[in-house]
C-alpha cells in the first residue's frame, strides 16, 4: 500500500494496536535459543530464585543496615507481617470482593461492548465511516481525566467504579478487535467459498479462529486498565475497596501496610492476567503474536 | 507489519462476514463498486467527519443548552465548556497548572525514553538478560502502577516529583518492551549476511539491529505518549494540588463541569502536539519506516 495520509488517523492507530499487543516471551526464548537448549522449567526456578534474592537484598538493606528511614521504605519482613495481619482479617476480604465486583462488572461490560463495536467498525464500511471517527476521537481523550466528573455523576458507590473500569478497559478491546478483523486473511475466506463452505462454516472455521487471538490480546491489556480504573475510582471516593484502605493506610503513614495492600493488588492483577492468557492459550494455542515475532511477513 | 497498517477496502471486506452480512458480500473480489459509502475517499471522508461532529455538537447544545434535558451543572453544553475555557485563560488561572503538567510530563516521559530504550535494546539483544528479567518485568507490567501513587506521595512529597514518578512508570514499560521487541524480530539472515561480509558485532548492532529496531522504538514512544498522559492525569487527580488533573478535580468538586471539560480538551490538545512532534521526529530519523509500507 502506498502511504496515504488517512484523515481519521486510522493508519497511525493501527500501529498503536500492534504495539499494544504483548510479546510472548516464552516464544521469543524458543525462537532465539535452540530448542532443547535449556529446559523451560529451569527459567521458572530462576525466576523464583531471583525474587527471593531481591527480597533478601531488600531485607538486608532495610532491615539490616537501613539505608532509607524504615518509616518510608519498610523492610519485607514488616510488609509480610502486615500482609499476614490483613489476610487474617475478614474485613479485608470484604474490601477485596468489593473491588473485584466493580472490576468484573465493568470488565464484562467492556468486553461485550468492545468486541461488538470492534467487529462493527472493523467489519462494516458504513460503521467505520460513522462510528469510526467517534471511536478514534474518544480514544484520544484521556478517559482517566473524566474520573472526578464520573464521581460527581455517579456518586461514591459501585456505579462510578464500574463506569471507570468500563471506560478504561473498553478501548484496548475495540482497537484490537478491529485489528483482528483487518487481519482476517481474505484469501482463506475466498478459498473457503471456492470449496463450498457455507457462511456459518466460514465464520466458524476461518474468521473466528483468525479473530480470537486479537480479541484475547485486547482483553489481556484491558485487565491492567480495568484495575487502574478500580483503584482510581476508589482513591477518589469510596466507602470500601482495596484502593480505599490503601489510601487510608498511606494517609496514616503506615507504609508497610500500604505496601502489603499493593502486594495483594499485584497478586490479583497477575492472577487475572494469567487467567486471560490461559484462555488465549486454550482457545488459540497456535497463535504466538507472530506480527511482532515473525519478522517479514 | 505491512498488513497491519494496511487499510484498503479489500482487507476489510471479509470481515463483513463477521457481523453476519449476506454471504455474497464475502466474495467481493472486484474493484469497489458497491453502495456509496464503500467508495468514500480522501477529503470526502474528512467532510463526513466534520459534518458528523458539527451535528453532534449542535444537537448537544440544543438538548442540554436549550431544552435542558439534563441538569446543565452535571453535563454542560458546549457553549459553557467554551466559556469555562475562556474564563480560565483570561483570569490566568490555567497557566500555573498547564506549566506544571507540561513540566512533569516532559521530565517523566524523557526519563522513561532515556532509560527505556537502552534497557530495551539490552533485553532484545541478550537472551540471557531477557530470560533473567523478562518474567519479572512482565509481572511488574501487569500491576496497576497507580497503586503506587499514595506511596509515591510519601516518598517524594507533594511537588511535581511523585507525578513525574508515575508518568515515568506508566511510560517506561511500553518504551522498553517495544524496544525489546525490535532486535528480537530482526531478520536473522540479515545478521548472518552482515557477519559473512566481515562485520563485527558492534557494526552489526549499529548497521542492522538498530535501524531494524527503530520502528519498534518509535511505536513504543508513541504508545508511551498516550499512556504517559493517562499517568499524568491519574497522578495529578489522585495526589497533587497543581496540574491539569488537579484542576479537573478542583473544578468538578466545585461543580464547574464546563471548566473541567475544557481542561480535558487542553489535555487532548497536549497529547496531539506531543504525538505530532514525535511523528515529525520519526519521519526524520526513520524515513524508511514510512516509505516501505507496500
Could you tell me if residue B217 is inside a domain?
yes
Does B189 contact A at CB distance below 8 Å? Answer: no
Q: Given pLDDT bands bounded at 50, 70 and 90, which one contains residue A35?
A: low
Q: Given pLDDT bands bounded at 50, 70 and 90, which one contains residue A197?
A: confident
Does residue A20 surpass a pLDDT of 50?
Answer: no
- Min Cα separation A216/chain B (Å): 15
pLDDT digits (tens, 9 = 90+) for B153-174: 888 887 889 999 999 999 998 8
pLDDT digits (tens, 9 = 90+) for A67-126: 777 777 888 888 888 899 888 888 889 999 999 999 999 999 999 999 999 888 887 778
Cβ-defined contact of A292 to B181 (cutoff 8 Å)? yes
Does residue A291 surpass a pLDDT of 50?
Answer: no
Does A251 contact B at CB distance below 8 Å? Answer: yes
pLDDT digits (tens, 9 = 90+) for B117-134: 999 888 888 877 877 887
Other CB atoms within a 10 A radius of the CB of residue A39 amount to 9
What total number of domains does chain B contain?
A: 1
Three-state SS letters, chain B: CHHHHCCCHHHHHHHHHCCCCCHHHHCCCCCCCCCHHHCCCHHHHHHHHHHHHHHHHHHHHHHHHHCCCCCCCCCCCHHHHHHHHHHHHHCCCHHHHHHHHHHHHHHHHHHHHHHHHHHHHHHHHCHHHHHHHHHHHHHHHHCCHHHHHHHHHHHHCCCCHHHHHHHHHHHHHHHHHHHHHHHHCCCHHHHHHHHHCCCCHHHHHHHHHHHHHHHHHHHHHHHHHHHHHHHHHHHHHHHCCCCHHHHHHHHHHCCCHHHHHHHHHHHHHHHHHHHHHHHHHHHHHCHHHHHCCC
Q: Given pLDDT bands bounded at 50, 70 and 90, which one contains residue A11?
A: very low
Residues of B in contact with A73 (CB under 8 A): 155
Does B262 contact A at CB distance below 8 Å? Answer: no
Q: Residue B267: which of A145, A232, A251 has the nearest Cβ?
A: A145
Please give the residue of chain A at the shortest CA–CA distance from B288.
A3
User: What pLDDT does A148 receive?
Assistant: 86
The region of weakest confidence among A39-48, A81-90, A152-161, B95-104 is A39-48
Q: At what angle do helices A125-140 and B42-60 cross, to 10 degrees?
A: 60
Does residue B37 surpass a pLDDT of 70?
Answer: no
Could you tell me if residue B285 is inside a domain?
yes
Cβ-defined contact of A124 to B19 (cutoff 8 Å)? yes
Quick one: what percent of chain A has pLDDT higher than 70? 82
Contacts of A36-41 with CB under 8 Å at 24 or more apart are none
Does residue B115 surpass a pLDDT of 90?
Answer: yes
Q: Given pLDDT bands bounded at 50, 70 and 90, which one contains residue B17?
A: very low
Give the residue with greater pLDDT, B51 vs B2: B51
Could you tell me if residue B235 is inside a domain?
yes
Does B193 contact A at CB distance below 8 Å? Answer: no
| CA-to-CA dists, residue A244 to A96, A108, A235, A238, angstroms | 11, 23, 6, 6
Q: For chains A and B, what is the number of CB pairs under 8 angstroms?
A: 290
Query: What is the CATH class of A76-293?
Result: mainly alpha
Q: Given pLDDT bands bounded at 50, 70 and 90, which one contains residue A7?
A: very low
Selected residue of A2, A10, A125, A246 to mutate for chain B interface (largest B Cβ count, 10 A): A125
User: What pLDDT does A250 receive?
Assistant: 85
Can you give the CATH number for the domain in which B223 is found? Answer: 1.10.3720.10
Does A182 contact B at CB distance below 8 Å? Answer: yes
Does residue B71 surpass a pLDDT of 90?
Answer: no
Please give the residue of chain A at the shortest CA–CA distance from B289.
A3
Domain encompassing residue B111: 90-291
Instruction: Provide mean pLDDT across the span B208-230.
Output: 85
User: What pLDDT does A106 receive?
Assistant: 94
Does residue B288 surpass a pLDDT of 80?
Answer: no
User: What pLDDT does B108 receive?
Assistant: 94
Q: Residue A147: which of B16, B219, B237 has the nearest Cβ?
A: B237
pLDDT digits (tens, 9 = 90+) for B238-263: 888 888 888 888 888 888 888 888 88
User: What pLDDT does B63 receive?
Assistant: 82
Residues of B in contact with A7 (CB under 8 A): 42-43, 45-46, 49
Could you tell me if residue B187 is inside a domain?
yes
Please give the residue of chain B at the shortest CA–CA distance from A191.
B27
- Min Cα separation B153/chain A (Å): 9
Cβ-defined contact of A250 to B52 (cutoff 8 Å)? no
Q: Given pLDDT bands bounded at 50, 70 and 90, which one contains residue A24?
A: low
Instruction: Provide mean pLDDT across the span A154-168.
Output: 89
Could you tell me if residue B141 is inside a domain?
yes
Amino acid at each position: 500500500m502506498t502511504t496515504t495520509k488517512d484523515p481519521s488517523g486510522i493508519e497511525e492507530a493501527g500501529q498503536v494496536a500492534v504495539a499494544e499487543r504483548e510479546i510472548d516471551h516464552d516464544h521469543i526464548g524458543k525462537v532465539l535459543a535452540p530448542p532443547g537448549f535449556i529446559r523451560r522449567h529451569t527459567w521458572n526456578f530462576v525466576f523464583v530464585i531471583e525474587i527471593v534474592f531481591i527480597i533478601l537484598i531488600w531485607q538486608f538493606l532495610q532491615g539490616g543496615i537501613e539505608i532509607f528511614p524504615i518509616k518510608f521504605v519498610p523492610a519485607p519482613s514488616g510488609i509480610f507481617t502486615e500482609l499476614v495481619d490483613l489476610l487474617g482479617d475478614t474485613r479485608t476480604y470484604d474490601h477485596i470482593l468489593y473491588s473485584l465486583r466493580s472490576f468484573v462488572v465493568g470488565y464484562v461490560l467492556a468486553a461485550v461492548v468492545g468486541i461488538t463495536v470492534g467487529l462493527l467498525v472493523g467489519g462494516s464500511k458504513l460503521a467505520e465511516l460513522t462510528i469510526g471517527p467517534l471511536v478514534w476521537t474518544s480514544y484520544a481523550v484521556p478517559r482517566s481525566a473524566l474520573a472526578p466528573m464520573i464521581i460527581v455523576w455517579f456518586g461514591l458507590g459501585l456505579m462510578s467504579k464500574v463506569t471507570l473500569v468500563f471506560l478504561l478497559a473498553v478501548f484496548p478491546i475495540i482497537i484490537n478487535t478491529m485489528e483482528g478483523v483487518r487481519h482476517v486473511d481474505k484469501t482463506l475466506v475466498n478459498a473457503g467459498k471456492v470449496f463450498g463452505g457455507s457462511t456459518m462454516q466460514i465464520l466458524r472455521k476461518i474468521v473466528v479462529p483468525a479473530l480470537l487471538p486479537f480479541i484475547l490480546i485486547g482483553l489481556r491489556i484491558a485487565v491492567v486498565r480495568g484495575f487502574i480504573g478500580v483503584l482510581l475510582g476508589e482513591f477518589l471516593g469510596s466507602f470500601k475497596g482495596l484502593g480505599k484502605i490503601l489510601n487510608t493506610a498511606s494517609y496514616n503513614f503506615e507504609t508497610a501496610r500500604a505496601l502489603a495492600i499493593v502486594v495483594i493488588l499485584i497478586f490479583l492483577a497477575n492472577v487475572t492476567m494469567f487467567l486471560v492468557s490461559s484462555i488465549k492459550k486454550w482457545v488459540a494455542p497456535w497463535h504466538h503474536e507472530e506480527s511482532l515475532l515473525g519478522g517479514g511477513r | 507489519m505491512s498488513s497491519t497498517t494496511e487499510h484498503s477496502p479489500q482487507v476489510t471486506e471479509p470481515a463483513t462476514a463477521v457481523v453476519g452480512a449476506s454471504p455474497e458480500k464475502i466474495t467481493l473480489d472486484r474493484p469497489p463498486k458497491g453502495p456509496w459509502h464503500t467508495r468514500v475517499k480522501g477529503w470526502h471522508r474528512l467532510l463526513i467527519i466534520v459534518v458528523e461532529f458539527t451535528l453532534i455538537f449542535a444537537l448537544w447544545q440544543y438538548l442540554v443548552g436549550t431544552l435542558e434535558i439534563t441538569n446543565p451543572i452535571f453535563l454542560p453544553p458546549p457553549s459553557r465548556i467554551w466559556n469555562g475555557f475562556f474564563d480560565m485563560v483570561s483570569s490566568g488561572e490555567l497557566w500555573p497548572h498547564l506549566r506544571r503538567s507540561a513540566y512533569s510530563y516532559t521530565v517523566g516521559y524523557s526519563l522513561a525514553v532515556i532509560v527505556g530504550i537502552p534497557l530495551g535494546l539490552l533485553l532484545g539483544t541478550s537472551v540471557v538478560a531477557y530470560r533473567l528479567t523478562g518474567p519479572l518485568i512482565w509481572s511488574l507490567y501487569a500491576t496497576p502502577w497507580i497503586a503506587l501513587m499514595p506511596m509515591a506521595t510519601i516518598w517524594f512529597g507533594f511537588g511535581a516529583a511523585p507525578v513525574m514518578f508515575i508518568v515515568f512508570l506508566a511510560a517506561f514499560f511500553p518504551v522498553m518492551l517495544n524496544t525489546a521487541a525490535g532486535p528480537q524480530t530482526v531478520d536473522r539472515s540479515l545478521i548472518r549476511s552482515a557477519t559473512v561480509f566481515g562485520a563485527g558485532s558492534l557494526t552489526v548492532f549499529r548497521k542492522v539491529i538498530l535501524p531494524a529496531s527503530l520502528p519498534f522504538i518509535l511505536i513504543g514512544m508513541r504508545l508511551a505518549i498516550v499512556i504517559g498522559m493517562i499517568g499524568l492525569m491519574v497522578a495529578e487527580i489522585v495526589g497533587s494540588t497543581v496540574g491539569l488533573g488537579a484542576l479537573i478535580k478542583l473544578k468538578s468538586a466545585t461543580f464547574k463541569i464546563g471548566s473541567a471539560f475544557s481542561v480535558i480538551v487542553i489535555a487532548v490538545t497536549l497529547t496531539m502536539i506531543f504525538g505530532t512532534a514525535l511523528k515529525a521526529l520519526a519521519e526524520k530519523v526513520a524515513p524508511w519506516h514510512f516509505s516501505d509500507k507496500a
